Amino acid sequence: MGMSLAYKILSKNLINGELKAGNEIEVKVNQTLTQDSTGTMVYLQLEAMGIKDIKTDLSVAYIDHNTLQAGFENADDHTFIKTAAAKYGIIFSKPGNGICHQLHLERFGKPGNILLGSDSHTPTGGGMGMIAIGAGGLDVAVAMAKGSYFLTVPKVLNVELKGKLKPWVSAKDVILKVLQELTVKGGVGYIVEYTGEGVKSLSLTDRATITNMGAELGATTSIFPSDEITYDFLKRQKRANDYTELAADIDANYDKKIVINLDELKPMAAFPHSPDAVKEITEENKIKVDQVAIGSCTNSSYTDLMKVAAILKGKRINPDVDLVISPGSSNILKMMADNGALGELISAGARILEAACGPCIGMGQAPKSNAISLRTFNRNFKGRCGTKNADVYLVSPEVAAVSALEGYLTNPMNYGEAPKIELPKEFQVYENYFIYPPKNREGLEVIMGPNIKPFPLNNALENSITKNVILKTGDNITTDDIMPSNAKLLPFRSNIPKLSESCFATIVDDFKARSEKYNGGFVIGGDNYGQGSSREHAALVPLYLKVKAVIAKSFARIHKANLINSGILPLVFENKEDYNNIDEFDELVLNNCIDSVKAGIFTIVNKTKNKEFKAILEVSDREKAILLEGGYLNYAKK
Ligand code: F3S
């Protein structure tokens, strides 16, 4: 039996362990990326490790999330990251340069490399034949310090693509179809690998749209082969030398397989409030639209925005619709300014935003109360857009543009001829937004403004913990629920005490008060606890509020790793029914914690209900050692 492409790349970079699903392995990390929202913590952690130089081939610190400077806080964070990047030998990408994943594809992505990023949509790089994994900030800091990463080997799920997309149907519809089939939990424990003749009909940025939203499947990452289309993209970016041809063996062995017929797909939308609530767009669901937002790391490529410009050309946006557009990179914005497409967008009545994450992270452009907002983004969790009662639909750029003209969620298939975009022979490449580290870095200082507070440290695990349940949640709780992110909170990403006032704010409004009253406690969760963004703060803030363990039916991968890194026990009910026997404020006792961690199973006494239940700790031996030490930083220092 032959090998999948994913396993080929992992085996080429294997440092320790056996490449077998479920085993923990150590792999070489070639590249890392951070964005500013998670980056401040990463560089504080790097500082705490006391290293001199990074060990990766290439590391980039992007500023794309918190670019609005309504006060000194974000600017302080940018300066901190910029000075830390210079000190450690990291490339710095200034605010306004673009969204980390789009820029990384354009400037640095390399087929066959392993990329670790402190952002959950790092798998965008899989569109270029990379193993690109989103991880917690501390994992990325350690990867820079040591040049390696520990990973539980995922299984590989093959998506075979047949046929060719019809006009007006796009890559976004492909991933929405996969989400409809597999759901937001369907990729957990898998790398999703795309093969089949349909792959050849997808451009590199189409592929990146698909691997980007593999994060919404819960997958470790997603990957496409590296072929002549990859070469063509790299050549146009003046990086032909970075190309390597890569593909799975013809008889590759996969753990699971689904087939998608591209020619059967129609334009689709993910309905509120989950990326897998996917339906075809029909006359029956013709909904009046208030806002359309185009951009994000999912759909802000040159081709995406040129299609939008072609659709809007010479027309006027519906007077009841507010259309906002954020380009993926400064290069794209400049090329569209030069070729006139930017003028078409402006004449049609679009608001042009900075090349940054913008509305995707709730940094401005929150829609009005009870609004219907169509977005080309990757997430539509309740409240993420900044307006709690707004309904967000995820759609392709084509659907977004046509709907902005019509004022209704519109299937564009009856809208005349679909735009066809020719790529420029050579992309223009501007380097002026990048700051490369100086050769001589001796004596460089890191500047920390008053917004930057130290991150919380844990103590070694206590052998006996008696605490109350200070919160019980339902299924599919997101990291946005645990630590909300909006324009008011984002400037405090390096200020954990301030953020703690809003912990779990989408679920209860007094979590901090509960924690203070009971001196910390336990959180009970349902299935898929911690899905969504890679936000390390969703573990660091609970750590600050003395959460000792989260006992859930199941966990999302990155959040579970972040809890471990923070020294918070991620326990899974042995019998899911036991979830029903616990109420908020029940008192639970965890005895013999040290032996229980080693054995991987806890017997927990519910003193209030006078009942006992078991919870499993499904982690590697290395992760057990981290939990015993009270977190990765304590462990790494030892
Ligand atoms: Fe930014 Fe949204 Fe992507 S916050 S990195 S554009 S998911």
Cα separation, 586 vs 609, whole angstroms: 7
Cα separation, 104 vs 191, whole angstroms: 20
Does 525 score more than 90 pLDDT?
yes
**Could you tell me the distance, in angstroms and rounded to a whole number, from the CA of residue 356 to the centre of ligand 1?**
8
Q: Does ligand 1 have an atom closer than 6 angstroms to the CB of 78? A: no
Measured distance between the N- and C-terminal CA atoms of the chain, rounded to whole angstroms = 42
Catalytic site includes residue 65: yes
Reported confidence tier of residue 457, pLDDT bands at 50, 70, 90: confident
Rounded to 5 degrees, what are φ and ψ at 4? -70, 160
609 half-sphere exposure, CB direction, 13 A CA radius: 18
Closest-CA residue, ligand 1 atom 3, reads: 297
* Neighbour-count burial of 389, counting CB atoms closer than 10 A to its CB (0-12 exposed, 13-18 middle, 19+ buried): exposed
Q: Which amino acid is at 574?
A: E
> Mean pLDDT across the stretch 23-41?
96
pLDDT, position 621: 95
Q: Are 238 and 202 in contact (CB under 8 A)?
A: no
pLDDT, position 430: 85
pLDDT, position 396: 98
Q: Which of 36, 121, 298, 531 most suits a substitution to test ligand 1, by most atoms within 8 Å of the C-beta?
A: 121
Closest-CA residue, ligand 1 atom 1, reads: 357
pLDDT tens-digit readout, 242-287 = 999 999 999 999 999 999 999 999 999 999 999 999 999 999 999 9
pLDDT, position 485: 81
pLDDT, position 288: 98
pLDDT, position 532: 86
Cα separation, 179 vs 216, whole angstroms: 8
Give the three-state DSSP class for 604. strand
Catalytic site includes residue 64: yes
pLDDT tens-digit readout, 362-389 = 889 999 999 999 999 999 988 889 898 9
Catalytic site includes residue 533: yes
Q: Which of 34, 62, 64, 216 most suits a substitution to test ligand 1, by most atoms within 8 Å of the C-beta?
A: 64
Q: Does ligand 1 have an atom closer than 6 angstroms to the CB of 63? A: no
Does 28 score more than 80 pLDDT?
yes
Reported confidence tier of residue 167, pLDDT bands at 50, 70, 90: very high
pLDDT, position 73: 93
Catalytic residue among 170, 500, 533, 554: 533
Does 534 score more than 80 pLDDT?
no
- Mean pLDDT across the chain: 96
Catalytic residue among 535, 537, 557, 559: 535
Catalytic site includes residue 330: no
Does 451 score more than 90 pLDDT?
no
Return left, alpha or beta for 521; rule: phi > 0 is left, psi -120 to 50 is alpha, else beta: left
pLDDT, position 65: 95
| H-helix or E-strand spanning residue 117 | strand 114-117
**Could you tell me the distance, in angstroms and rounded to a whole number, from the CA of residue 252 to the centre of ligand 1?**
33
> Mean pLDDT across the stretch 316-327?
98
Cα separation, 120 vs 314, whole angstroms: 38
Q: Does ligand 1 have an atom closer than 6 angstroms to the CB of 378? A: yes
- What is the set of domains in the chain, with CATH numbers? 5-264 (3.30.499.10), 268-410 (3.30.499.10), 465-637 (3.20.19.10)
Q: Does ligand 1 have an atom closer than 6 angstroms to the CB of 215? A: no
Cα separation, 393 vs 278, whole angstroms: 9
Reported confidence tier of residue 637, pLDDT bands at 50, 70, 90: confident
Closest-CA residue, ligand 1 atom 6, reads: 296
> Mean pLDDT across the stretch 339-351?
98
pLDDT, position 516: 97
**Could you tell me the distance, in angstroms and rounded to a whole number, from the CA of residue 508 to the centre of ligand 1?**
26
pLDDT, position 412: 97
Closest-CA residue, ligand 1 atom 4, reads: 361
Residue 133: C-alpha distances to residues 109, 562, 591 (Å): 13, 14, 36
Catalytic site includes residue 379: yes
Closest-CA residue, ligand 1 atom 5, reads: 297
Q: Are 583 and 541 in contact (CB under 8 A)?
A: no
pLDDT, position 472: 98
Cα separation, 105 vs 203, whole angstroms: 13
Query: How many CB atoms within 10 Å of residue 601?
Result: 15
Cα separation, 617 vs 269, whole angstroms: 37
If you write DSSP's letter for every residue of 576-592 in order, what string do you get? Answer: GGGGGG--TT-EEEE-S
pLDDT tens-digit readout, 217-249 = 999 999 999 999 999 999 999 999 999 999 999
Cα separation, 253 vs 188, whole angstroms: 19
Cα separation, 13 vs 374, whole angstroms: 41
Q: Are 79 and 494 in contact (CB under 8 A)?
A: no
Cα separation, 405 vs 394, whole angstroms: 17
pLDDT tens-digit readout, 61-81 = 999 999 999 999 999 999 999
